Chain A
Amino acid sequence: EVQLVESGGGLVQPGGSLRLSCAASGFTFSSYAMSWVRQAPGQGLEWVSGISGSGGSKFYADSVKGRFTISRDNSKNTLNLQMNSLRAEDTAVYYCAKDHSSTYYPTCMDVWGKGTTVTVSS
């Protein structure tokens, strides 16, 4: 069974940092681009960041560029999101998602984790 399990969420003060992780299983992790998508309370979906299967290409939304860093460890089937300089508007549920096809860059996502909650507040 294909599965994604996020961890690392929590409460952090504005300006602080947090590192999210996503453990993948049930598929050839290195063959698929992966993405992070977030959803603020009561709001819509926002694509945050994506990474190619090899990890060589990384992509970011303008809202997080320069503050967030995506990475992956294909030997451990793990996707990460390092979040620095956090702001109140980064408060959201963060989902890890697998790309639908084994294309090089992120496209659409067919498998989603249950999400991990990040709250940025003093």
Chain B
Amino acid sequence: DIQMTQSPSSLSASVGDRVTITCRASQGIGNYLAWYQQKPGKVPKLLIYIASALESGVPSRFSGSGSGTEFTLTISSLQPEDVATYYCQKSNSAPNTFGQGTRLEIK
């Protein structure tokens, strides 16, 4: 099965910073990659699908890019409400494995 690896595992940044999270697949998955945000005590929320498509209602400061085996989630200007754990997920074929998560905190 294809493994998904995120880096870093945790990240601390200041309000207004540009933040980038990376997700690598052990084999090529085309552009079949989704990103989720999970705030503490809350249900996961879909942010990005097909690597770069922004889900309806998600702020435009979130963006996704990449294809094949390397993908990135970028927050252009970090806001306090972005404190959360972020997960990537392959979506090309089952099993639709998640990355281990990246915990984002405000410095």
Is the Cβ of A47 less than 8 Å from the Cβ of B1? no
Which residue of B is nearest A45, CB measured? B98
Contact residues in B for A105 (Cβ distance below 8 Å): 93-94
Is the Cβ of B87 less than 8 Å from the Cβ of A106? no
| Nearest chain B CB to A100 CB, angstrom units | 6
Taking the complex as formed, is A115 at the interface, i.e. its CB lies under 8 A from any CB of chain B? Answer: yes
Is the Cβ of A112 less than 8 Å from the Cβ of B44? yes
| Nearest chain A CB to B15 CB, angstrom units | 26
Contact residues in B for A106 (Cβ distance below 8 Å): 91, 94, 96
Q: Which of A35, A107, A112 has the most CB of B within 10 A?
A: A107
Give the size of the chain A interface in residues (CB under 8 angstroms): 23
| Nearest chain B CB to A117 CB, angstrom units | 13
| Nearest chain A CB to B78 CB, angstrom units | 22
**Chain A, 91-122, contact with B by CB distance < 8 Å: what is the 0/1 string?**
00001000010000111111011110000000
CA distance A60 to B18 in the complex (A): 37
Give the size of the chain B interface in residues (CB under 8 angstroms): 25
Q: Contacts A61-B95, A105-B93, A108-B96; is A44 near B43 (CB within 8 Å)?
A: no
Which residue of B is nearest A112, CB measured? B43
| Nearest chain A CB to B42 CB, angstrom units | 9
CA distance A110 to B49 in the complex (A): 9
Q: Which B residues from 78 to 102 make CB contacts under 8 A with A?
A: 85, 87, 89, 91-101
A-B CB contact pairs (8 Å), 14 listed: A46-B98, A47-B94, A47-B95, A47-B96, A50-B96, A105-B93, A106-B91, A107-B32, A107-B49, A108-B96, A109-B44, A110-B46, A112-B43, A115-B43
Q: Which residues of B contact A (CB under 8 A)?
A: 1, 32, 34, 36, 38, 43-46, 49, 55, 85, 87, 89, 91-101
Q: Which residues of A contact B (CB under 8 A)?
A: 35, 37, 44-47, 50, 59-62, 95, 100, 105-110, 112-115
